[in-house]
Amino acid sequence: MVKAFIFDMDGVIIDSEPIHLEVDLMTARHFGIPLEEKEIDQYVGMTNPEMWAIIKETHRAAVSVDEIIRVQLEKKIRLLEALEIEPIAGIRELLQELGRHRIIIGLASSSPRAFIEKVLEKFRIRDFFSCVASGEEVPKGKPAPDVYLEAARLLGVPPSACVVLEDSRNGVLAAKRAGMRCIGFQNPNSGRQDLSAADFVVQSIGEIGIPDLFEKVEAVSRADTAEMEP
């Protein structure tokens, strides 16, 4: 039975992957790192420390990861504050419908907490969420399951009773490794993400109707149970 719904944030609540892409390229140029746009898709869903550690090693950059992240976060928050944007279409309605059905709502994002809180504050939706978990505050970021397990712990709900909404390959893998059901959201601005590990995939947030969601999740659970039976 579904007791909790956990949202990823980037590419799900806010169409922020273009923002991340622009700022990541600006940050790389700032430090003289020859980062190319096509290189970034593979890092979607990962935490900043993990992403920049790989980029630093790949490009043999002399600057520290901490300094890169400091500059990146400053640029990202300034850009977010300047933009006139709304949540991805259908998000406000989905949050309201989940509330009407008394489903506990959490958020588990790879972004730093400062950016998460700025986004929720900007969209005036912070009160919908019973917990917020940042991938930078757990031992391992996505595709490891840590941030989703932490969200379930904070919500007081077993992972098997949680449904996750994700737009990236790394995020889907994290949710499944946590033992949760996962809806893949095919956001065209998130790059060519392989969402095949998700239990099912939607092209828009509006496709996620709560009664239908319960039926689909239960059907997947029954199918999985049947496969395990001798």
The continuous run of DSSP H or E covering 162 comes out as strand 162-166
> Hey, how many other C-beta atoms are within 10 angstroms of the C-beta on 18?
11
* Contact indicator for 61, 55 with CB cutoff of 8 Å: yes
Q: How far apart are CA 44 and CA 190, in angstroms?
A: 7
Angle formed by the axes of helices 65-82 and 48-59, nearest 10°: 120
Coil, strand, or helix at residue 40? coil
Active-site annotation holds for 66: no
Annotated catalytic residue: which of 10, 24, 167, 199? Answer: 10
HEC-encoded secondary structure of 63-96: CCHHHHHHHHHHHHHHHHHHCCCCCCCCHHHHHH
Residues 5, 163: contact at Cβ < 8 Å? yes
24 labelled catalytic: no
Helix or strand (DSSP H, E) at 133 = strand 131-134
Q: Is 215 exposed, middle or buried (0-12, 13-18, 19+ CB in 10 A)?
A: exposed
Residues annotated as catalytic are 8, 10
